[in-house]
Amino acid sequence: MDTAPLRDAYRTLLEAAARPDLGEAADGGWNADRILAHLLSVDASVAATALSVAAGARPTFDNRVCLDPWNLDRIIAGHRDRTALVAHVRDQAAVLCDIAGRLGDAEASVLVPALLVSGDTLLLDQPVPLAGLVGGLAEDHVPRHTRQLLDLRVSAA
């Protein structure tokens, strides 16, 4: 799989996440730590799915645990601060890209039953090729959370 787009998306996201001027969401939504914890959970889930496919298993992908407040709090609590979260996202994105980059066309085309939700909205409930899960991170998921981080910028007083 070509992971250059995903690496590029993460490069941009990590620059945004490292900004010192990130505040709270005006609408009461996720702060930067929650966004980063969510990304860690999603990336671990996609990496596990990819490794399962490589092992010959036929896994499913369900992002609901990646949205669970308890799980996000657990991930945040496991890091000393945002700098540690950003470093972990950087490392885990590299691992995901390394795994995906080693998969061949046959593995990339394996259909994975996927359930994707956002809040109370069902986004997807159908099989997608493994390459589609990885590509979706690069094309939509990571850029969307990059914009979300940039929206947290606060103006200097």
Give the angle subtended at the CA of 75 by the CAs of 69 and 78, to the nearest 5°: 140
49 domain-assigned? yes
pLDDT in tens, the chain (157 residues): 999 999 999 999 999 999 999 999 988 899 999 999 999 999 999 999 999 999 999 999 999 999 999 999 999 999 999 999 999 999 999 999 999 999 999 999 999 999 999 989 999 999 999 999 999 999 999 999 999 999 999 854 4
Round to whole Å and give the CA distance between 53 and 21: 40
79 domain-assigned? yes
- Residue appearing with tokens 């596990």: 48
23 domain-assigned? yes
The encoded tokens of residue 6 equal 């995903």
Q: What is the dihedral of CA 46, 74, 141, 18, to 10 degrees?
A: -120
Q: What is the pLDDT of residue 155?
A: 56
Q: Is the pTM of this model over 0.85?
A: yes
Question: Phi/psi of residue 125, each to 5°?
Answer: -145, 75
155 domain-assigned? no
Q: What is the pLDDT of residue 156?
A: 45
107 domain-assigned? yes
* Domains in the chain, number: 1
Q: What is the residue range of 70's domain? A: 4-150
115 domain-assigned? yes
Give me the CATH number covering residue 77. Answer: 1.20.120.450
The encoded tokens of residue 92 equal 């885990």
Q: What is the pLDDT of residue 93?
A: 98
